[in-house]
Amino acid sequence: QVKLVESGGGSVQAGGSLRLSCSGSGYTYSSYALAWFRQAPGKEREGVACIHSGGGSAYYADSVKGRFVISQDSAKNMLYLQMHSLAPEDTAMYYCAADPFTLCDYGMEGADFGHWGQGTQVTVSS
């Protein structure tokens, strides 16, 4: 069973940076789509960034392009989200997600991901 555990959230002032980490275990397929999602109170869940475990291009939501970078360490089953130039609108619970049967190209829809972490809170103050 796939288990995902996020860490690295916290409170930061606008303009600051944070790096989120997601430790994965229990993978049974050779390739997964790995993604970060976020959900702010009263808002819909949003796909933030996505990458395939086998490598290739990363995909980003327009709202974070140029500020966030998704990366992975396959040897350690770790997924990261480096966030720069954070703004109050980035405040949300951030979740990592994985699925062996979807592709990032499909548009980072939460319904396409079957495995989720418990989330880590990111709060950006102005």
Q: What is the 3-state secondary structure (H, E, C) of 5-32?
A: EEECCEEEECCCCEEEEEEEECCCCCCC
pLDDT value at 55 more than 90: no
Q: Is 84 exposed, middle or buried (0-12, 13-18, 19+ CB in 10 A)?
A: middle
Residue whose entry in the numeric block shows the structure tokens 């606008």: 14
Contact, 51 vs 104, CB < 8 A? yes
25-51: pLDDT as tens digits: 999 998 999 999 999 999 999 999 999
What is the rounded average pLDDT of the residues 91-119?
Answer: 95
What is the rounded average pLDDT of the residues 62-83?
Answer: 97
pLDDT value at 12 more than 90: yes
What is the rounded average pLDDT of the residues 106-118?
Answer: 94
Q: pLDDT-derived band of residue 71, with 50, 70 and 90 as boundaries?
A: very high
What percentage of the chain reaches a pLDDT higher than 70? 100
Count CB atoms within 10 A of the CB of residue 45: 17
Contact, 51 vs 58, CB < 8 A? yes
How far from chain centre, in Å, is Cα 5?
11
Q: pLDDT-derived band of residue 75, with 50, 70 and 90 as boundaries?
A: very high
